[in-house]
């Protein structure tokens, strides 16, 4: 039985009054949700609050969950929207790629940020790369920006992105490839790489 089928069974059990089944879903996805939210919000207490609110909203919305998307993809959408609303009510914007790259010292995304070996030169290079990546991502068309963000920042699979963006997986692959090419073109002058190399 696939992970998705197990989740659907748990959802059915919750709908039939089994509250413990929802506890299993919370235990299963809590850490993944917290990791996602930590890329948008810095304060650990706020992250916990948003995660709790996300699960409450998900529990209340379970009757509307049709199973078209995987449970986590559905929960992910609720979490992102809850975080956006939370930040908006406090007059704060969602962080940009460069904010995350520069602030996220515990778990830097090595796919998007140059490795920092502690020297002033490497720190400067990391900042330049982060700024260039952010500018390249911001300049992308919406569908490319969304695809690359879901893949590189949220770590979603191509299948999850296809479900989330409601398009074929081939389209997702194409969008991510085009986004990476655009980012690589922006990074070449900084990293001194040739046209035939992406990074």
Q: What is the CATH number of the domain that holds 181?
A: 1.10.10.10
Q: Verify that 72 and 8 share a domain, yes or no.
A: yes
Q: Verify that 166 and 119 share a domain, yes or no.
A: yes
Q: Verify that 130 and 68 share a domain, yes or no.
A: no
Last residue of a domain, one of 73, 89, 105: 89
Q: Verify that 82 and 125 share a domain, yes or no.
A: no
Last residue of a domain, one of 63, 89, 115: 89
The three state secondary structure string of 103-167 is HCCCCCCCCCCCCCCCCHHHHHHHHHHHHHHHHHHHHCCHHHHHHHHHHHHCCCCHHHHHHHHCC
Domain tally, the chain: 2
pLDDT in tens, 30-75: 999 998 888 788 888 889 999 999 999 999 999 889 888 889 889 9
Last residue of a domain, one of 60, 89, 118: 89
* The predicted structure's pLDDT at residue 93: 57
Q: Verify that 84 and 104 share a domain, yes or no.
A: no
CA quadruple 121, 123, 126, 127: dihedral sign: negative
Q: What angle do CA 119, 40, 78 make, to 5 degrees?
A: 155
Entry pTM:
0.52
Q: What is the CATH number of the domain that holds 61?
A: 1.10.1740.10
Question: Which residue, 1, 23, 13, is CA-closest to 65?
Answer: 13
Q: Could you tell me the pLDDT band of residue 8, with boundaries at 50, 70 and 90?
A: very high
- 40-43's contacts with Cβ under 8 Å and 24+ in sequence apart are 40/80, 40/83, 40/84, 40/87, 40/94, 40/95, 41/83, 41/86, 41/87, 42/103
Range of the domain at 180: 97-191
């Amino acid at each position: 039985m696939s992970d998705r089928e197990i989740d659907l069974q748990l959802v059915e059990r919750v709908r039939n009054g089994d509250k413990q089944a929802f506890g299993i879903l919370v235990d299963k996805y809590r850490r993944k949700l917290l990791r996602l939210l930590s890329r948008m919000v810095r304060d650990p207490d706020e992250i916990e609050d948003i995660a709790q609110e996300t699960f409450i909203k998900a529990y209340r919305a379970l009757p509307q969950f049709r199973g078209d998307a995987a449970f986590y993809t559905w929960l992910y959408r609720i979490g992102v929207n809850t975080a956006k609303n939370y930040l908006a009510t406090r007059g704060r914007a969602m962080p940009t790629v460069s904010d995350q790259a520069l602030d996220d010292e515990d778990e830097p995304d090595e796919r998007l940020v140059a490795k920092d070996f502690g020297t002033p030169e490497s720190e400067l290079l990391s900042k330049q790369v982060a700024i260039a990546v952010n500018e390249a991502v911001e300049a992308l068309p919406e569908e490319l920006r969304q695809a690359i963000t879901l893949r590189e920042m949220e770590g979603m699979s191509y299948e999850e992105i296809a479900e989330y963006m409601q398009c074929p997986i081939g389209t997702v692959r194409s969008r991510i490839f085009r986004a990476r090419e655009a980012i690589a073109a922006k990074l070449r002058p900084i990293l001194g790489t040739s046209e035939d190399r992406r990074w």
